[in-house]
Amino acid sequence: MESKKVIFSGTQPSGKLTLGNYLGALKNWVDLQDDYNCYYCIVDLHAITVPQEPKDLRARTLEVLAQYIASGIDPEKNTLFIQSHVTAHAELAWVLNCLTYMGELNRMTQYKEKSSKVGANLNAGLFTYPSLMAADILLYGSDLVPVGEDQKQHLELARDLAARFNTKYSETFKVPEPYIPKVGARIMSLQEPTKKMSKSDDNKNAFILLSETADETRSKVRKAVTDSIGEVNYSDDQPGIKNLLTMYSIFTGESIESIVDRYKGEGYGKFKEDTAEAIIEGLRPLREKYNYLMSNKDYLENIYTDGAKKAEYAARKMLRKVYKKVGFIPRKFD
Ligand code: AQP
């Protein structure tokens, strides 16, 4: 029997997860879990590329795990683990750093955006973030990487690094393919709808959190920035309305055209109200399960411990191979 293809993906515990993370990533991971061998990681090493309060980072790491499971990602079918528990990620990242050109990292949109925000506190980790992400993916021989549109450029680098290593040494890494959802790949900020919704946005009204209350969601959708056209259309000239239409359609399963038709001549008030209800209803089971899991910390601890053991086995095997090819003398103990 042919073995299942491998998937790797992750989320940073750099804030509480948003609707963008859910629609662009988690929701799609659920659909893949039966057909693939999936590694779903909580990438805490990535998170410290911007300053983190240790106590909050610890709490959020657990919250993200609970949200994975609450979204429907089954810990029995998938390997769920915390990145820092498998040290091969940082070790392979170093090797890949030594194969990555400065020019490649300089071109990265995420680096440009984030570095302009942190000013004088700019650190090297933020710059080399994409090499660490390449290590995450390549360690497991991943075939597919389900990500939102924003991560496409990083994935391109992972592909280039895999091919570069294979050419320089010998065939080692699989060259991974991106898996980007057709709808939901780019959920936009509610306050600046030309920017993506981001969990580390300073403006709390810009994002919908998976863990917030229904009333909070209602209030944020009501305050969502729209335009002065006053008519519900799916158009690039109306990015705020377009974004709300995307969410409405994903949560109800109704087509965008049919929604647009229904709100003809209605203005935005009722449309926003109904969008909020669609989101709240769609997230209700997730929110309930999340609250339950967060009161069962022992269960979560078992999941991430078992996950790390499974991931460690696969990752070590790949790292040993890489070290050998690079010319490091294998160590005589384990
Ligand atoms: N707005 C979004 N729309 C669709 N997909 C999104 N993703 C993130 N934001 C959106 C997808 O979620 C997965 C996890 O992302 P991440 O946490 O590793 O990093 P990120 O892309 O940098 O997400 P954030 O929320 O913007 O985090 P911060 O603010 O910390 O940088 C990825 O698959 C991503 O594509």
Mean pLDDT of 136-160: 94
Q: Does the pLDDT of residue 194 top 80, yes or no?
A: yes
Q: Does the pLDDT of residue 150 top 90, yes or no?
A: no
Which residue type sits at 321?
A: K
Give dist(CA 98, CA 95) in Å, integer.
5
Specify the range with the lowest mean pLDDT, choosing from 21-35, 175-189, 222-236. 175-189
Mean pLDDT of 264-287: 95
Mean pLDDT of 259-270: 93
Expressed in angstroms and rounded, the spacing between residue 311 Cα and the centre of ligand 1 is 23
Q: Is 198 annotated as a binding residue?
A: yes
Q: Which two tokens stand for residue 190?
A: 């509610």
Q: What is the DSSP string of 101-115?
A: -HHHHHT-HHHHHHH
Do 6-184+297-326 and 204-292 share a fold? no
Expressed in angstroms and rounded, the spacing between residue 81 Cα and the centre of ligand 1 is 18
Q: What is the pLDDT of residue 39?
A: 98
Give the model confidence (pLDDT) of 208-257 as tens digits: 999 999 999 999 999 999 999 999 999 999 999 999 999 999 999 999 99
Q: Does the pLDDT of residue 184 top 90, yes or no?
A: no
Write out the catalytic residue numbers.
Answer: 114, 196, 199
Q: What is the pLDDT of residue 2?
A: 64
What atom of ligand 1 comes closest to residue 50's alpha carbon? Answer: 30
Mean pLDDT of 123-130: 96
Most ligand 1 atoms within 8 A of CB, residue of 64, 67, 198, 211 to mutate? 198
For ligand 1, atom 14, the nearest C-alpha belongs to: 11
Q: What is the pLDDT of residue 52?
A: 94
For residues 276 and 218, is the Cβ–Cβ distance under 8 A?
yes
Percent of the chain with pLDDT over 90: 88
Q: Is 12 annotated as a binding residue?
A: yes
Q: What is the pLDDT of residue 29?
A: 93
Expressed in angstroms and rounded, the spacing between residue 109 Cα and the centre of ligand 1 is 13
Please state the pTM of the whole predicted model.
0.92
Mean pLDDT of 44-72: 96
Expressed in angstroms and rounded, the spacing between residue 204 Cα and the centre of ligand 1 is 16
Give the pLDDT band of residue 161 (cuts 50, 70, 90). Answer: very high
Listed as own residue / partner, the contacts of 238-243 with beta carbons closer than 8 Å and 24 or more positions apart are 239/188, 239/193, 239/194, 240/188, 240/190, 240/193, 241/268, 241/271, 242/188, 242/193, 243/187, 243/188, 243/190, 243/193
Q: Does the pLDDT of residue 1 top 60, yes or no?
A: no
Q: What is the pLDDT of residue 200?
A: 85
Q: Is 13 annotated as a binding residue?
A: yes
Mean pLDDT of 13-28: 92
Q: Is 178 annotated as a binding residue?
A: no
Q: Does the pLDDT of residue 151 top 70, yes or no?
A: yes
The domain made up of 6-184+297-326 has a fold known as Rossmann fold (3.40.50)
Q: Which two tokens stand for residue 270?
A: 């009722």
Mean pLDDT of 61-81: 97
Q: Does the pLDDT of residue 98 top 90, yes or no?
A: yes
| In the chain, domain spans | 6-184+297-326, 204-292
Most ligand 1 atoms within 8 A of CB, residue of 7, 11, 83, 211 to mutate? 11
The domain made up of 204-292 has a fold known as Tyrosyl-Transfer RNA Synthetase (1.10.240)
Give the model confidence (pLDDT) of 244-259 as tens digits: 999 999 999 999 999 9
Mean pLDDT of 148-162: 94
Most ligand 1 atoms within 8 A of CB, residue of 116, 117, 151 to mutate? 151
Q: Does the pLDDT of residue 120 top 80, yes or no?
A: no
Average pLDDT, whole number, for the chain?
95
Residue for token pair 């944020």 = 220
For residues 247 and 23, is the Cβ–Cβ distance under 8 A?
yes
Mean pLDDT of 263-282: 95
